[in-house]
Structure 1
């Protein structure tokens, strides 16, 4: 599987580089001032920038160059053949007036298919945003002004202090675009998701920096039903998920995606699939990434709206001061639409779980939770190291191995590793799963913990090889109910 995915990426990258070289040979440079665009940080340049983009696109393509300075603008629509190049010292400022933003693709009824954004692109080809400049969405002020519009009754949705995401502009929202490059720029202070690439093909995101804690729902990047997508060498500091893959349409999916050499710190999960999971996620490699100071999971793969998650490779993941290392979940928020998680390989993971004031809130580093009729299967974990503080005492606990059969299923709940509350294990909790190989798992606590290291419920055909459990006064390594074919060696 890994070989076939690698070969497809090599072919794709070769095609992308040939396309970029061909475009570079014919592209023409246009300085912003050529179109009367002003760098004073005060003049609203929306019409001038849009005129420049349209002119360049209609005349064979080229590069719109923004020299150092501050450029204020409302929503602009990027067009085929156009590169926006922000030189070092350049700041593209988003207007704080909500009426300066457009909405695209209104044929769709899902809000994130139609969201407002500073930079929109609909079904365009050969587009890029490059340079060492900054795009600042001024999201705190912008969101506050959206709240004022809600107060006046000019828009609907949400509260004054927290307007709905659909009313708060992103910085970048591209839909149906092909041959997209975003490189070296800094994105900061979005009013909502920072950047969203929806049903795009042949996308390269490289060496970008995201600083997005201006408001709520500030995902670092959202990859939605895309094909041939490479995200590498980037940094994300966000108040929601860092790298988030979603599927918003039941007949499309994310596939052939590489996420490599990225670093992130977030208030939610580091890398997450599936809080919107209608279609699917297939052939995805997540290589050599680092997550730190994160409240939830380092990696979370969730199929809760009918999606299929399959052929996923995670190789090289470091986590420091995080809530959970690995979370796999199959659920059914849509009732009859049941998600499926299978054929997952996760290896070379080293995670330190954060220390909680109440040790019972330090949940297992690994949580794998299917449903009785949605069995998670064909899972391979190799060379996983998880360190916990430990210290939980039985006298304070509500859940233990004695009553673990009563842990709720919660098929229609929002998926998070903490969704079940207290769990009877400190190392790994696995329920409704089959055909698992766990090789070289090392789990450690600094203090004695009454909970078992590993708890299994309705787990079949599971093999542990080279299992290492280090806990002061350790008694139980593995406790199981309703399970069979458990092998350890």
Structure 2
């Protein structure tokens, strides 16, 4: 996909020749920057040999290919004083705030460059465990000043291969308005601070493969900070993702949107450490001490368009919610946008809402540990459209009560999008589907590890729903396995309920019409009205 500097005559610049000292104490910013600047004159390689080389902000340049040798470590300074503010030219909701440039601090910074790479068997360490950087979550101005490890803006042809990335002070990799990005064979361990996303992608033409990720915050996170830049043509494959937050996430920033995204052959599991989240302690009904929030989270809440997403062959363990798809409307303002409207107060406003359509999720094997079931939801007057779910096995925790089975899930389109935006208990044990047009579930198997009084599937305000060969555990009480509320054109083909004799379908509300059930040996009590 990308071409590395391979000219046999390309110049090589060893940072030691510019005065760098690898003792882990000497501040080498000027020496390393001098090597980068010199290399930029001819194009070539900047070599970081064995040793620990401390530095503040380094500015990457076009045609400079950094090679970190085995045993070499490029380590960020633990002090704010070594990270000056950077007034970047490109404006979006990350780089600008309130019409003014943010500090945009970074360890490795680039804007408007082409043909750069960082490769080798060495390590980049962001010193995120520094006392100066431990400022809590980024909901305070001081905490937002922490430097990203890599902040790459409006640049093209960027390659990172094989290196280890660890201990960032803020987001580890932040690519904004970039094109032609290749991340291969990376090892990421990020467990020392808040907001330690492993990979944040606001870019086009991206390949992420064979990466091993272990992060406190989101794993692979697609972000869209500008309505003028849609994230497109992204492939993620053959990655191992461990996280205390969301493993694969679209959003939360979702102004422009995401198109033509393919994610395949990945494994998802709990992070190896949990110094901050403690979900089992801080939330209700979490079934084990360390969990991922959502395995797959697809979120449009800032007006963006999500279209043509294909996700397949994903094995998940230790997740609270396997699949979380939400179309909301926070009304967030981006740089230069004067059409601000706010729905965060809880009101329902369809103005400026985005869209989610053409989502295919296939071959998923998931084990979950919460009462927040998988879901596909929008809000009144707005619909998610054209969703196909097939060959999915959901092994769910269960333990839902009769009262929880009869509860109503609130509408909350202005909330921060996360599985608990609707509460910590859903009225379904397997899938909650609301405000959706044209959705199919084919060969989806629901399992319960504990008795549960909730329906496996709830369908609410759905127009054209197709359930084909779904396998459902009977509920512990008299709730039907499938609850249909105010929906139209619903068909159920060859359902399997275990054991038979319990209600299969319950129709609720005044607007239900056109329900077809086929390939099912009906018995007394299979339908509840």
TM-score (norm 1): 0.87
Name which of 294, 306, 310 aligns with 1:309: 306
Whether the 8 Å contact between 1:252 and 1:279 is mirrored in structure 2 is yes
The CA deviation at 1:187 is 1.0
Which 5+ residue runs of structure 2 have no aligned equivalent?
Answer: 97-101, 271-290, 332-340, 342-350, 494-529
> Could you say which residue in structure 2 is the equivalent of 1:329?
326
Where do 1:408-419 residues align within 5 Å? 408-419=410-421
Alignment pair present for 1:252 and 2:254: no
The CA deviation at 1:400 is 2.9
The CA deviation at 1:383 is 0.4
> Could you say which residue in structure 2 is the equivalent of 1:55?
38
Whether the 8 Å contact between 2:197 and 2:217 is mirrored in structure 1 is yes
> Could you say which residue in structure 1 is the equivalent of 2:115?
126
RMSD value over aligned CA atoms? 1.9
Whether the 8 Å contact between 1:126 and 1:178 is mirrored in structure 2 is yes
Alignment pair present for 1:116 and 2:105: yes
The CA deviation at 1:26 is 4.5
- What is the SS of the residue equivalent to 2:241? strand
The CA deviation at 1:454 is 0.5
Q: Distance in 2 between matches of 1:436 and 1:145?
A: 44
Whether the 8 Å contact between 1:273 and 1:300 is mirrored in structure 2 is yes
- What is the SS of the residue equivalent to 2:195? coil
Whether the 8 Å contact between 2:61 and 2:116 is mirrored in structure 1 is yes
Name which of 393, 396, 403 aligns with 2:401: 393
- What is the SS of the residue equivalent to 2:149? strand
Alignment pair present for 1:444 and 2:433: no
The CA deviation at 1:237 is 1.2
- Cα displacement string for residues 103-151 of structure 1 (whole angstroms, at most 9, x for unaligned residues): 435343634565211000111111001111111111121544879xxxx
Name which of 205, 208, 214 aligns with 1:237: 214
> Could you say which residue in structure 2 is the equivalent of 1:151?
none
Q: Distance in 1 between matches of 2:139 and 2:458?
A: 43
Q: Distance in 2 between matches of 1:63 and 1:23?
A: 10
Q: Distance in 1 between matches of 2:26 and 2:212?
A: 31
The CA deviation at 1:471 is 4.7
- What is the SS of the residue equivalent to 2:217? coil
Name which of 139, 143, 151 aligns with 1:164: 143
> Could you say which residue in structure 1 is the equivalent of 2:296?
299
- What is the SS of the residue equivalent to 2:168? coil
The structure with more helix, counted as a fraction of residues:
1
Name which of 17, 41, 54 aligns with 1:72: 54
Alignment pair present for 1:318 and 2:315: yes
- Cα displacement string for residues 23-44 of structure 1 (whole angstroms, at most 9, x for unaligned residues): 4445222222221211121211
> Could you say which residue in structure 1 is the equivalent of 2:200?
222
- What is the SS of the residue equivalent to 1:140? coil
Q: Distance in 2 between matches of 1:99 and 1:282?
A: 40
Whether the 8 Å contact between 1:314 and 1:346 is mirrored in structure 2 is yes
Q: Distance in 1 between matches of 2:306 and 2:86?
A: 29
The CA deviation at 1:380 is 0.6
Q: Distance in 1 between matches of 2:376 and 2:470?
A: 18
Alignment pair present for 1:371 and 2:379: yes
- What is the SS of the residue equivalent to 1:418? helix
Where do 1:421-436 residues align within 5 Å? 421=423, 422-436=425-439
Cα 1:191–1:447 shift into 2, 3 Å: same
- What is the SS of the residue equivalent to 1:447? coil
Whether the 8 Å contact between 1:98 and 1:146 is mirrored in structure 2 is no
Deviates more, 1:306-315 or 1:291-300: 291-300
TM-score (norm 2): 0.81
